[in-house]
Amino acid sequence: MKKITKEEIADGFKNLQDAICKSVEKLDGGSAFKEDVWSRPEGGGGRSRVLKNGELIEKGGVNFSAVSGATPDKILKALNLSEADFFATGVSIVLHPSNPWVPIIHMNVRYFEMSTGVWWFGGGIDLTPHIIIPEKAKNFHQHLKKTCDNHDDSFYPKFKQWADDYFFVKHRDETRGIGGIFFDRLSDKEGKTKTDQWKFVREVGETFVPAYSDAVDELRNRPYSASDKNWQKIRRGRYVEFNLVHDKGTKFGLDTNGRTESILMSLPPEANWEYDHKPETKEQKETLELLKKGIDWIS
């Protein structure tokens, strides 16, 4: 059987970016993505696509990149790898909605290989509601479990726990949201071929649109108060803290001299940091109580 190449994987991610952008524009209904094609002096480049001030999305980005070159020493040490050239490609998405009842969503699917022959896939999807609605959380996790179960029954519980541990704001002692799935370094060591792993990662990417469409449904036009809007900005502040303090993808992009505008696309248009802010509504208080690891959202 012919082995899948890095070029074919990169083309697959390009197609995924195209399909998701088209679907998100349709879901938003009021704005279109603007594309910025860029190149990296050390090798490779990408397509950054940003949508602003839409009917649903206040700011969102769907980015594709395929970069290559000598691996920086900092990355070699962090990943415990021998000196070699690298190739990395993938799609990264963050959508920040206008209505505080609608959650933030993030997805990243990626492939990494080195000239030594080392390769792996990584990625995941997670949801960050400003106000948690348990029934919506259940539906979101059901989408992810179905995708995982199509490939391996062990994937969902393992990758759900990984997401709980990864998307955790340590200095706040709270999860970033309701989690989702997260995985890294999927290779042939799990007894699966590169094609097997690629099929799984590609289906994770294809789960993005139906999962978010259901998360948005019935919430995008829900009335909200000034308190709800301020709460949204406070929760966005927590999102910023995680991305700048803990997120490995942000650090990898900056350490490999990636395009700063594209890397920081994940940050919201507005966020607040109020000293010792306290929740003002029942829903806000309940949300803080649900920002915990290990919640079984499906049962």
The two three-digit tokens of residue 180, written as one number: 């989702």
**Which residue matches tokens 């799935």?**
181
Model confidence at 261, pLDDT cuts 50, 70, 90, reads confident
Catalytic residue among 96, 106, 130, 141: 106
At residue 96, the 3 state secondary structure works out as strand
Average pLDDT over residues 33-39: 95
Q: Which has the closest alpha carbon to 132: 160, 95, 103, 106?
A: 103
Give 3: exposed, middle or buried? Use CB within 10 Å, 0-12, 13-18, 19+. Answer: exposed
At residue 215, the 3 state secondary structure works out as helix
Across the chain, mean pLDDT equals 94
CB neighbours of 31 closer than 8 A, spacing ≥ 6?
25, 51, 52, 53, 54, 55, 57
Give 73: exposed, middle or buried? Use CB within 10 Å, 0-12, 13-18, 19+. Answer: exposed
Q: How high is the pLDDT of residue 58?
A: 98
Model confidence at 76, pLDDT cuts 50, 70, 90, reads confident
Average pLDDT over residues 7-13: 98
Task: Give ∠ CA 82-123-240 in degrees, rounded to 5.
Answer: 100
Residue 229 · residue 222 · CB < 8 Å: no
Task: Give ∠ CA 239-242-248 in degrees, rounded to 5.
Answer: 130
Alpha-carbon separation of residue 13 from 82, 91, 198, 253 (angstroms): 27, 6, 11, 18
Q: Hey, which residues does 125 pair with through a beta bridge?
A: 107, 181
**Which residue matches tokens 């505008």?**
261
Model confidence at 252, pLDDT cuts 50, 70, 90, reads confident
Q: Which has the closest alpha carbon to 109: 176, 27, 10?
A: 10
Q: How high is the pLDDT of residue 262?
A: 84
User: What are the tens digits of pLDDT across the range 122-169?
Assistant: 999 999 999 999 999 999 999 999 999 999 999 999 999 999 999 999
Model confidence at 253, pLDDT cuts 50, 70, 90, reads confident
CB neighbours of 118 closer than 8 A, spacing ≥ 6?
81, 84
Q: How high is the pLDDT of residue 110?
A: 97
User: What are the tens digits of pLDDT across the range 191-240?
Assistant: 899 999 999 999 999 999 999 999 999 999 999 999 999 999 999 999 99
Of 42 and 232, more confident? 232
Q: Which has the closest alpha carbon to 128: 157, 159, 183, 169?
A: 169
106 is catalytic: yes
Average pLDDT over residues 239-250: 92
User: What are the tens digits of pLDDT across the range 163-179?
Assistant: 999 999 999 999 999 99
Q: How high is the pLDDT of residue 125?
A: 98
Q: How far apart are CA 74 and CA 135, in angstroms?
A: 43
Q: How high is the pLDDT of residue 142?
A: 98
The two three-digit tokens of residue 224, written as one number: 């909200």
Q: What percent of the chain has pLDDT over 90?
A: 84
Q: How high is the pLDDT of residue 259?
A: 82
Q: What are phi and psi of 184, to 5 degrees?
A: -155, 155
Average pLDDT over residues 231-259: 90
Model confidence at 1, pLDDT cuts 50, 70, 90, reads low
Per-residue pLDDT at 59 exceeds 70: yes
**Residue ranges of domains in the chain, CATH in brackets:** 6-289 (3.40.1500.10)
Per-residue pLDDT at 98 exceeds 70: yes
Q: How high is the pLDDT of residue 71?
A: 81
Q: Which has the closest alpha carbon to 204: 182, 188, 220, 226?
A: 182
Per-residue pLDDT at 80 exceeds 80: no
